[in-house]
Chains A and B, each alone.
Chain A
Amino acid sequence: MRIAVKYCGNCNPEINSPRIIGQWMETLKDDEITFGPEGKTPADLLIIICGCRKGCVDRQEVRAMGRQVILIKGRWMGGLSLAENELGHQLIQRVESMRGALRRNAK
């Protein structure tokens, strides 16, 4: 799967985004990961990870970089407020469930 990760810039984040992404990446096997190059063909999945709820990088043209999008804004993910140490785990689960959905669609 081609997965793109887009960081917000992390000026004053309330979470450690690289740590969360690192934790998730340890679970991957043969996915192709890119870090937010714009203008290419959309990735299968885009993870937008913002350091706080402001979510500076959650913009239309950024969302267009992925066919499916997972959005993290500070401790907020999928409409839920989570503890920071739950975010990595939640991200792993969401990516896997999207992977499953993509496989099913491909069939």
Chain B
Amino acid sequence: MDETAQFIDFCINILFPALADGLMITVLLVLITAPFGIAFGVLLAVGRVYGKSYGNWICRLFVGFVKGCPLMLLLFILYFGLPTVPYVGVTFDAFTASIIGFICCNSAYNSEYVRGAIISVKEGQLIAASALGMTKRQAIMYIVLPQALRRAIPGLSNEFIYLIKYSSLAYMITLVELTGAGKIVFTKYFEPGVFFVVGIVYLALVTVTTVGANALEKKYAVPGTQKR
């Protein structure tokens, strides 16, 4: 049997089944995190742009904290650190801790894109909405956000792609996701080809995301407005 055939055999019988489990975890992590990450990202952005006093400060503080903290450290704190805090200590399993950490990170960065997009909506839009008798909340919901979110799609999809990749950090707190699954197989069989295969899987995930995001952007493009 030549080397290629051997490697293919190895992939089919050993690597793929192992990676499949890891891929499942990675996909779950991403698909659970993303909706919350976007929803909270939008809330944080609205809070930062329109929020008054407390709301505004809480949003800024949160984003500042998350941006200032290495994600791996945040995961360590959530997984290893929190259970040791007296009285308030809570214990998360690795999956939950990862999800919480990723939602924090994803929403903080999403909020940057959405905030920029909100600010870029022309002032007249809000003025016209107010003049029609819309409350601030209505004007934000029905006029500003629909425009801002369209503009935020490229940024949000970018963040989604980062999420796919940094979800591998979950392995640092024992969760065997895609990268972790590959690492385990490698350790056992010393087959460096494993990492190329894992890389191709990530590439596929990212490509699907990019295609999806482009389709979304196209679908929601406002006719008559020429982009780029």
To the question of whether A and B form a pair in one complex, the answer is no
| Chain A residues within CB distance 8 Å of chain B | none
| Chain B residues within CB distance 8 Å of chain A | none
